[in-house]
Amino acid sequence: MIACLRLFTALCLAALLAACASSPSSSLGELPRTPDASIEQLLEQAAQSKDPEKASLLRLSAADLAYRQGNAGQSAQILQQVPVEQLKPGPQVFAQTLAAELAMARNQPKAALTALSHPSLQRLGELPVEQQVRTGTVHARALEADGQTLAAARERIFIAPMLSGEAASKNHEAIWALIASLPTDQLQPSTTDDLGGWMGLALAVKSAGTVEQQQAAIDNWRKQNPKHPAAIQLPLALTKLKELAGQSLSKIALLLPQDGPLASVGKALREGFMAAHYQAQQAGQKPPAIEFYDSSRLTSMDEFYRKAQADGVQLVVGPLEKPLVKQLSTRPQLPITTLALNYSEGEQGPPQLFQFGLAAEDEAREVSRRARADGLHRAAIMVPKGEWGDRVLRAFSQDWQANGGSIVATERVDQPVQLAQQIADMFQLRQSEGRAKSLQSTVGSQVAAQPSRRQDIEFIFLAATPQQAQQIKPTLNFQYAGDVPVYATSHVFSASGDVNQYNDMNGIRFCETPWLLDANDPLRKQVTAQWPQAAGSLGRLYAMGVDAYRLAPRLGQLKALPDSRIEGQSGSLGMTQNQRVVRQLPWAQFVSGQVQRLPDTPR
């Protein structure tokens, strides 16, 4: 009997051992442990180890330690020494996650996503929670950097239940930032899961016009979704809206020049501003009173603010003059919240100062964004000589290169007679001609050879006047580069309706204000009926005036919701951390003498 019992026990033990040997943890393999040793000691132990698997785990630990210590270069070098494909799935996941983190440190989200597409990632759910969180976090970061905003949000929603404390709070805020940055047409809360709830909240906030309406929409959403994570813990940006609710705006000062060189600009801005004001009245709203002040007669900004305070002004829109904006930006405080209609050179001003204008730099960055969205990587640049061209060049280059693009040629245009030579130099046509002549002298007879241009330029970024663009595009055609796409700022478009001029620029793509691309907008129709010049290039200033009016009561809202936008007449308006309003613009193309609107791309 005892012998039978012993046999039964032995059989059970054998079965248990067999089960353990084939258990998920055994087939997955061990993950590298957090080491007590230094990088050098770990590498030495790996070199001395006779067990290849143990040596690989030690090297993975060393690579991970180097990464955590901020030495990405050393980490990458060590990781290259690990034979990843020979590892079990667990260490493979660890290695691919570290590779993705290193790729993100180099600002290479596509490389990170490639690392995370390894087959071993299919078993991520079997690994410890800490590894799932680490992998999920870098995956979300890579998706966001690659422009896959919704997928990034999904990833963060997936790892949310695994987090606690500060990490949970940061992830919670990141989910809202991602969802809130989606365009309204992508917010389709068709499901009842957490993602659908987040989308419903974002749609409710974006669909409401005023701060008060947004607050009511949030309260209503929370009642309908009491168990949703965002209802339990409202994102910080939305809690700030409560502070803004109830702070009604009753009087605005409009501070613009009525005389001097900027009088015509001030007039267009004022007429656009008041057109939006009258539209609000016609819609049955109770807009704030407008008090006019002439900035061309100012003797002191301090005196102006004293007068405005005495008049009961709560918000100043203006000034337009750059020296005055620069002066305000250097002050530690302003007595009244101010929306300046220009930009200072400095990055940060007083907390009461907001800045808004038609900055060419915004358009340069918009060209960079659009070209990336169209899958382009290598740019040539043509800008005018001078300070303006330098600013546009700098803005484009910084944004383009920061997002992985390369610049293969740059030309500063000035004299029309030099254009052909500059474009030939850009495309290295003279070198091609030289090779043909060299071949001809070698063979001793006439060689029929058409000059060939360099092939590494995928598109041209052009910042130029309509007159310059009229010369540049035909010259590109003549210099065998007519098939190279040209992406331009709005400065190429005169809005004159001149078909002959447009024909000369056939194929050029350019960003432009919604105002000039949508002739059927009701407010634009009203304004152009009264002021026909608003249909031409001055229309951009009328659009800016309209948007200045619409921005005025919503500055606090944009500040509290950094990823929210106002769809304006001068562009889609957002705000940077240093309280500058920035624009994203729609796109059009010259086609057979007509201006043709292009489809929007994901932002």
Would you report the helix, strand and coil content of the chain in percent, each value rounded to 5?
55, 10, 30
Percent of the chain with pLDDT over 90: 65
Residue 429: per-residue pLDDT: 61
Q: Please count the other Cβ atoms lying within 10 Å of the Cβ belonging to residue 134.
A: 19
Instruction: Write the CB contacts of 245 (distance below 8 Å, at least 6 apart in sequence).
Output: 211, 212, 214, 215
Residue 51: per-residue pLDDT: 93
Measured torsion, CA atoms of residues 272, 278, 280, 285, in degrees rounded to the nearest 10:
150
Residue 15: per-residue pLDDT: 38
Residue 180: per-residue pLDDT: 84
When pLDDT is cut at 50, 70 and 90, the band that residue 420 belongs to is: confident
Residue 443: per-residue pLDDT: 43
Residue 601: per-residue pLDDT: 76
Answer with the residue of higher pLDDT: 476 or 402. 402
When pLDDT is cut at 50, 70 and 90, the band that residue 424 belongs to is: confident
Given a cut of 50, whether residue 260 has pLDDT beyond it is yes
Residue 181: per-residue pLDDT: 79
Locate tokens 């663009």: which residue?
A: 469
When pLDDT is cut at 50, 70 and 90, the band that residue 35 belongs to is: confident
Lowest-confidence segment of 50-59, 162-171, 290-299, 467-476 by average pLDDT: 467-476
CA distances to 275, 449, 518, 537, 589 from 515, in Å: 13, 48, 6, 10, 16
**Domains along the sequence of the chain with CATH:** 251-355+521-571 (3.40.50.2300), 361-440+450-512+585-597 (3.40.50.2300)
* pLDDT tens for each residue of 492-507: 999 988 888 888 899 9
When pLDDT is cut at 50, 70 and 90, the band that residue 240 belongs to is: confident
Residue 562: per-residue pLDDT: 64
* pLDDT tens for each residue of 6-34: 434 333 433 333 333 333 456 888 888 77
Q: Give me the chain's average pLDDT, please.
A: 87
- 450: buried, middle or exposed (CB in 10 Å: 19+, 13-18, 0-12)? exposed
Instruction: Write the CB contacts of 237 (distance below 8 Å, at least 6 apart in sequence).
Output: 173, 176, 177, 180, 560, 561, 562, 563
* pLDDT tens for each residue of 199-217: 999 988 877 766 777 888 9
Percent of the chain with pLDDT over 70: 89
* pLDDT tens for each residue of 72-122: 999 999 999 999 999 999 999 999 999 999 999 998 999 999 999 999 999
